[in-house]
């Protein structure tokens, strides 16, 4: 058994494991895929103090930093169930899909999130070649160019406003007959001269020249007609889904969107169980934020362990 077990090996998990190991606690980190979303990222330009890096490079650096410490790193382990300790200071248990189970007096949950995909032809093919999911990350790559934002909820409309300040032209595409974003955001979006809003439109394909995106095809759901828009980028904003399905019956409180509910110290409602990063209710899903939150959760786990002896 460990004193601290971190579940998830992205930026939040790596930071948490390093912080608890530095406190001298026996620490394990178990992840389905070490590196997390960072593995799927091309250029990273907003990891402060590092002007430019690439996802796989940063992921390798995370693993290397973990390896500097006495941390038991376990890759390719998918958590399926959490059984909380029966008494304060006792052992929590995490059961994995291969049947193994690990125990620890404190847990830090950092299982991250995944962007919901459109699932249309061209989307996967042109990922990072014009198809993007994070305007804070990739917006500046499209400076002066034409982009579409797919999704008219709050995140889609916020992304369109953000991008309208940077890119040449934004086409917002919404499946429903009207946008679902807050009115104040819709009003703000409509105040831009370089934005078109298309509703009742079903995106059917992302097109490209084999190298990069050159357009998008949608079906007008009223007339049934197919239309094509020429552009250089497509931002998909139809939802970020937290990887928390495995916590459903654990007693750990989740928000209506499935995010792990945490307080300002990264504590969940279950004593000794902390959480950090994209899987939680903390707003703004970014690498630097996930690392800060992971560190915070680790310090809270330390605080919990020194105050609660094993029963």
Q: Which residues of the chain form contacts with ligand FAD (CB under 6 A)?
A: 7-13, 30-34, 36-38, 40-41, 44, 46, 77-79, 110-113, 115, 133-134, 137, 243, 246, 277-279, 285-288, 290
Nearer to ligand FAD (CB atom), residue 199 or residue 288: 288
Nearer to ligand FAD (CB atom), residue 129 or residue 221: 129
Nearer to ligand FAD (CB atom), residue 102 or residue 231: 102
Minimum gap (Å) between residue 87 Cβ and ligand FAD: 25
Nearer to ligand FAD (CB atom), residue 186 or residue 295: 295
Give the Cβ contact number of residue 42 at 10 Å: 14
C-alpha pair distances (Å), 41 with each of 137, 237, 287: 10, 17, 11
Minimum gap (Å) between residue 33 Cβ and ligand FAD: 4
* CA 293/CA 268 separation, integer angstroms: 13
Minimum gap (Å) between residue 308 Cβ and ligand FAD: 25
Minimum gap (Å) between residue 297 Cβ and ligand FAD: 11
* CA 145/CA 167 separation, integer angstroms: 5
Minimum gap (Å) between residue 242 Cβ and ligand FAD: 9
* CA 51/CA 60 separation, integer angstroms: 17
Nearer to ligand FAD (CB atom), residue 111 or residue 203: 111
Phi, psi of 33 (to 5 degrees): -150, 105
Nearer to ligand FAD (CB atom), residue 16 or residue 157: 16
Nearer to ligand FAD (CB atom), residue 201 or residue 206: 206
Minimum gap (Å) between residue 229 Cβ and ligand FAD: 22
Q: Are 180 and 155 in contact (CB under 8 A)?
A: no
Give the Cβ contact number of residue 298 at 10 Å: 30
Phi, psi of 106 (to 5 degrees): -135, 145
* CA 258/CA 243 separation, integer angstroms: 8
Minimum gap (Å) between residue 195 Cβ and ligand FAD: 23
Burial class (CB in 10 A: 0-12, 13-18, 19+), 245: exposed
Closest listed residue to residue 104, CA positions, set 34, 12, 17:
17
C-alpha pair distances (Å), 125 with each of 24, 128, 131: 45, 9, 9
Q: Which residue is it, tokens 């934002």? A: 149
């Amino acid at each position: 058994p460990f004193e601290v077990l971190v579940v998830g090996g992205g930026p939040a998990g790596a930071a948490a494991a390093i912080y608890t190991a530095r406190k001298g606690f026996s620490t394990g980190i178990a992840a389905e895929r070490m590196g997390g979303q960072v593995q799927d990222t091309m250029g990273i330009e907003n990891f402060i103090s590092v002007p430019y890096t690439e996802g796989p490079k940063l992921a390798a650096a995370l693993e290397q930093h973990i390896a500097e410490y006495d941390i038991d790193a376990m890759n390719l382990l998918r958590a399926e169930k959490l059984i909380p300790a029966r008494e304060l200071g006792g052992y929590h248990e995490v059961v994995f899909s291969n049947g193994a189970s690990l125990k620890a007096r404190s847990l830090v949950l950092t299982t991250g999130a995944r962007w919901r995909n459109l699932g249309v032809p061209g989307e996967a093919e042109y990922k990072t070649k014009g198809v993007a999911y994070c305007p804070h990350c990739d917006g500046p790559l499209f400076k002066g160019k034409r982009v579409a934002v797919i999704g008219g909820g709050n995140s889609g409309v916020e992304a369109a406003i953000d991008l309208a300040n940077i890119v040449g032209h934004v086409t917002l595409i919404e499946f429903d007959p009207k946008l679902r974003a807050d009115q104040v955001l819709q009003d703000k979006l409509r105040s831009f001269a370089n934005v078109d809003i298309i509703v009742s439109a079903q995106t059917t394909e992302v097109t490209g020249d084999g190298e990069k995106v050159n357009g998008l095809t949608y079906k007008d759901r009223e007339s049934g007609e197919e239309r094509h828009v020429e552009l250089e980028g497509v931002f998909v904003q139809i939802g970020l889904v937290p990887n928390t399905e495995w916590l459903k019956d654990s007693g750990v409180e989740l928000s209506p969107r499935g995010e792990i509910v945490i307080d300002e110290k990264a504590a969940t409602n279950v004593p000794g169980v902390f959480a950090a990063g994209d899987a939680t209710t903390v707003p703004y899903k970014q690498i630097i934020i996930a690392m800060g939150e992971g560190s915070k959760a680790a310090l809270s786990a330390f605080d919990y362990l020194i105050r609660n002896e094993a029963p």
